[in-house]
Amino acid sequence: MEEMKDVIKDYVIKEYVEDDTEVTYDTPLISGGIVDSFSMVSLKRFLENKYQISIPDDKATPEVFDSVNKIVALVKEYIK
Amino acid sequence: MAYTDKIRGMYTEILTNLKDAGLFKQERYIHSAQAADIEVEFPSGASLKKVINICANNYLGLSSHPEVIKAAHAGLDSHGYGMSSVRFICGTQDIHKKLEQMITQFLRTEDTILFPSCMDANAGVFEAVLTKDDVMISDRLVHASIIDGIRLCSAMHDTFKHSDMEHLENKLQLHNDKRVKIVITDGVFSMDGDTAKLDKMVELCEKYDALLFVDDSHASGFIGKTGRGTHEHCGVLGKIDIITTTFGKGLGGASGGCVSGRKELVEMCRQKARPYLFSNTIAPPVVAGVIKVLEILSASTDRRDKLEKNTKFWRKGLIDAGLIIKEGDTPIVPVMLFNAKLSQDVSRDLYQEGIYAIGFFFPVVPQGQARIRTQISAGHEIHHLEKALDAFTKVGKKYEILGKSKQEIIERYGM
């Protein structure tokens, strides 16, 4: 099974990157201007559908979505 | 005094930083009415200079049209200067209702509500019709006023890549569980001059039971064979659920805007849209002026036809001169320079040649996409455009950008 962090990284690149910007597991996504705060919602919904989890809105802050590694940590918190 | 030296110093520093970063906006004073030929004082205190204006939203050349001015005078005489009221208290006159009916007929919608501006229409409409159970899916390049309206609304918000229909469909699938899904786009995008794919968007909205919202501010009055807007151009008249537009561009250029569309949604705005409920009714002379504009445009397509011809002439002329423009067929024609400083230098030199056009650069447009945005008008005659082309050619030669590729310009001037 593909590793979660690669699934998430691939999604971020496909969804948000429109040029040749390199995205690593630690690239700042929101503070780095790759994902705008409006677009965070689709990332949250993608994670919820993909991993069958529910992330409360008040936990879905720009800080916890700011890199692939941080997102992986967040998802793991909610996987039963 | 609460406005202490410390606070004054803080704001002074912010403004200084804007100047240092080249982001400080300086206004130019125009001493004449808006038209193809204007008299400008720039910088402040300089003697007046006669220039050709190629950066106004005066697409149909109606801003100073004698019949519109005459109608506004008559409206002032018959209905007064102002109403000193919002619409629902004592600010609705017969001419406000007449204008709403005329717009409904012109745009081929079900009903219309006037707003003090299209900025206000966009700020108020989403909050009035949507709740937290709904989702707004917007093109990533929509106008700033739409972004503000979205921020004021409790519905979920997502975006799709600019004009990417496959991406939009993915988003409609992702949010298919929402009570109301609304797809949001500009009809003509103001910075690139490209047109939304409304035919494809209507198809997708029908497939996924979504509403479609279009801000047609840069299209109403001249896009489409009879100037109804982008929905006419794309063959989807009657299929747009909400259209917002302005009277501050092609439709006379004064002020005011509207939401036009499904009658229940318009009524929701009348009951709930805060910029409508809490700001003054549009002034009677402006209403009378817009009524005349719609009468002129409904009687003849001459002005939009002339604009189309002028636009073709202008686009071909720029390409023949060896400049790079954004492809399209609208009167918004960006001349691409890529480098921010180059865009400012070219703008300054054009002004010296008697051509008034403004350079845009980051953050107004993406990094590395600096440009001179030119806007053509039915008020231009061919001699205006020829003079402007001569100026672009002269300045282009000076900077050695004619016939050069994007790569060559970037290599020489940087991003």
pLDDT in tens, B166-209: 999 999 999 999 999 999 999 999 999 999 999 999 999 999 99
| Interface contact flag, B157 A41, Cβ < 8 Å | yes
% of chain B residues with pLDDT over 90? 94
Does the structure show a pLDDT above 80 at B384?
A: yes
Q: Which is nearest to B247 in space by CA: B49, B106, B42, B74?
A: B106
pLDDT score for A41: 84
Q: How far is A39 from chain B (nearest CA, A)?
A: 5
User: Which of the residue ranges A29-43, B53-67, B105-119, B204-218 would you say has the lowest mean pLDDT?
Assistant: A29-43
Q: What is the mean pLDDT of residues B100-117?
A: 98
B218 is catalytic: yes
B190 is catalytic: yes
Question: Chain A partners of B175 at a C-beta cutoff of 8 Å?
Answer: 45
Q: Are B322 and B404 contacting, i.e. CB atoms less than 8 angstroms apart?
A: yes
Mark which of B270, B299, B328 sits at the end of a domain: B299
Does the structure show a pLDDT above 60 at A1?
A: no
The dihedrals phi and psi of B297, each to the nearest 5 degrees, come to -75, -30
Nearest CB to B159; choose among A38, A46, A49: A38
Residues with Cβ within 8 Å of B263's Cβ and at least 6 positions away in sequence, in order, are B110, B111
What kind and span of H or E run contains B73? Answer: helix B66-79
Q: What is the CATH number of the domain that holds B326?
A: 3.90.1150.10
| Interface contact flag, B158 A49, Cβ < 8 Å | no
Structure tokens at B95: 């001419």
Q: Is residue B12 part of a domain?
A: no
Strand partners for B213: B184, B242
pLDDT score for B150: 96
Nearest CB to B171; choose among A36, A42, A49: A42
Q: What is the mean pLDDT of residues B47-57?
A: 97
| Interface contact flag, A38 B158, Cβ < 8 Å | yes
pLDDT score for A2: 67
Does the structure show a pLDDT above 90 at A18?
A: no
Q: Is the peptide bond before B43 cis (omega within 30 degrees of 0)?
A: yes
Does the structure show a pLDDT above 80 at A80?
A: no
pTM of the model: 0.93
Q: Which domain holds residue B165?
A: 80-299
Q: Is residue B10 part of a domain?
A: no
B316 lies in the same domain as B288: no
| Per CATH, domain A4-78 is 3.40.50.2300 | no
ipTM: 0.79
Report the domain count for chain B. 2
B145 is catalytic: no
Query: Within the 13-72 window of chain A, which residues sit less than 8 Å (CB to CB) from chain B?
Result: 18, 36, 38-39, 41-42, 45-46, 49
Cα nearest neighbour of B166 on chain A? A15
Does the structure show a pLDDT above 90 at A19?
A: no
Long-range contact set of residues B156-160: C-beta below 8 Å, sequence gap at least 24: B156/A41, B156/B132, B157/A38, B157/A41, B158/A38, B158/A39, B158/A41, B158/A42, B158/A45, B159/A36, B159/A38, B159/A39, B159/A42
B175 in contact with A at a CB cutoff of 8 Å?
yes
Q: What is the mean pLDDT of residues A25-35?
A: 88
pLDDT score for A30: 87
Q: What is the mean pLDDT of residues B328-355?
A: 96
